[in-house]
Amino acid sequence: MLRRFGRPGDPERSARRARGAGRRRGVQGDRGARRDRGATSIFVGICAGALVVVIGIVVDAGGRLRAIENTDARAMEAARVAGQQLDEAAVLQGQGYRVKLDDAQKAADAYLALYGLSGHVALGDGGTEVTVTVNTTYEPVLLSVVTSGMAVTGKGTATLVHGVKEAENG
């Protein structure tokens, strides 16, 4: 019986006892460790993929907001340029200040062409208000695999004023 368990100072006996003690406490030794192999890498892969998607959404949403801001600015500038195209014949005949639609469209198109854009000019309030609408697309940078170009619309309005005698000091 003494041989079966070895002698009290024997290193082999200590190793057997340690293996047996692990089983009694619920640790399954090498077999349990093999079942968990790779579980952490799958979790990290899923989290990394989700993080890339979130970063892509943030970057592309910010890019689209910049595109909207730029398109609005170009439309406002085009409206100002178009608003300077007065109908001179109407002014000379005493019919008041108003914009000539054909000249306004040409001026707005010429300005927008500098930026590779095109727009539509509309007159309102008897020809004293010019509205330019610009449509373009924003191409996503990181999420281009998931979605194609996003529509972006800019709108700018200019109103004719005349007879200003004094500048306003804000």
Lowest average pLDDT, out of 100-114, 117-131, 135-149, goes to 135-149
Residues 161, 99: Cα–Cα separation, whole Å: 12
Kindly report, residue by residue over 108-128, the tens digit of the pLDDT. Answer: 999 999 999 999 999 998 889
Kindly report, residue by residue over 10-30, the tens digit of the pLDDT. Answer: 666 666 666 655 454 445 555
Kindly report, residue by residue over 33-55, the tens digit of the pLDDT. Answer: 566 666 678 889 999 999 999 99
Kindly report, residue by residue over 76-94, the tens digit of the pLDDT. Answer: 999 999 999 999 998 899 8
Q: Minimal CA–CA distance to 158: which of 116, 90, 99?
A: 99
The DSSP secondary structure of 64-101, one letter per residue, reads: HHHHHHHHHHHHHHHHHHHHT-B-HHHHHTTS---B-H
Whether the predicted pLDDT of 170 surpasses 50: no
pTM above 0.95, yes or no: no
**Which two structure tokens, joined as six digits, stand for 31?**
């077999």
Residues contacting 139, CB < 8 A, separation 6+: 148, 149, 150
Is residue 144 within 8 Å of 157, Cβ to Cβ? Answer: no
- At residue 162, the 3 state secondary structure works out as coil
